[in-house]
Amino acid sequence: MDRAYSALVEILGLHCECPIFGCLRFRRQCTNGKVSSSAKLVLKVPDECVKLTEYSVWADFMYHIQYTKPADYTMVAVDSVEQLSQAQLDKMIHSLKKQRRPLAYHCPQAILEEIRPEWLVDFSLHNKESFWQRRKG
């Protein structure tokens, strides 16, 4: 899995060890039902600090990275051409790299290098009221 994250950092031109994944407000989301121990952060992030990817393309890339050369995620390993073609891999990498308008994504995934304190608008723990609601009460 670390290879996939390192590759994504390189593909998107990020400057971090591990990207932070999020979703866009009022847009389709994929959490795979794993939200019971999560915290919801509502952030107001400047556009230039957000990279977007299509969730399904990222999921496919994470799965298929096992079929790439160990030292080069951009090349399919010779013994893996039946599972993944070079053209398929190139298409995934291009899709991850190309930034489009948010509405052009079916299920957009927001990716950040960092979270700055001044971006925080609100937060809540899963199934609990927000921090600001608790402070008002």
7 occurs within a structural domain: yes
User: Where are the extended beta strands (E) located within 4-93?
Assistant: 20-22, 39-43, 51-54, 68-69, 72-76
State the residue range of the domain holding 98: 2-35+46-116
For the segment 38-93, what is each residue's pLDDT rounded down to a tens digit?
Answer: 677 889 999 999 999 999 999 999 999 999 999 999 999 989 989 999 999 999 99
Give pLDDT, residue 123.
Answer: 86
pLDDT at position 64 is: 97
**For 107-126, what is the mean pLDDT?**
91
On whether residue 69 sits in a domain, the answer given is yes
Model confidence band, residue 137 (pLDDT cutoffs 50, 70, 90): low
Does residue 17 lie within any of the structural domains? Answer: yes
Per-residue confidence band for 134, with pLDDT thresholds at 50, 70 and 90: low
Ramachandran category for residue 33: left, alpha or beta (phi over 0 → left; psi -120 to 50 → alpha): left
For 12-37, write each residue's pLDDT tens digit.
999 998 899 988 876 666 655 555 55
Torsion angle defined by CA atoms of residues 121, 127, 133 and 134, in that order, rounded to the nearest 10 degrees: -110
What is the domain count for the chain? 1
127 pLDDT band, cuts 50/70/90, is low
pLDDT band at 125 (very low <50, low <70, confident <90, very high): confident
Instruction: Kindly state whether residue 96 falls inside one of the protein's structural domains.
Output: yes
105 within domain boundaries: yes
Residue 71 placed within a domain: yes
Task: Please indicate, yes or no, if residue 61 is contained in any of the structural domains.
Answer: yes
Q: Is residue 58 part of a domain?
A: yes
> pTM of the entire structure?
0.81
pLDDT value of position 58: 96
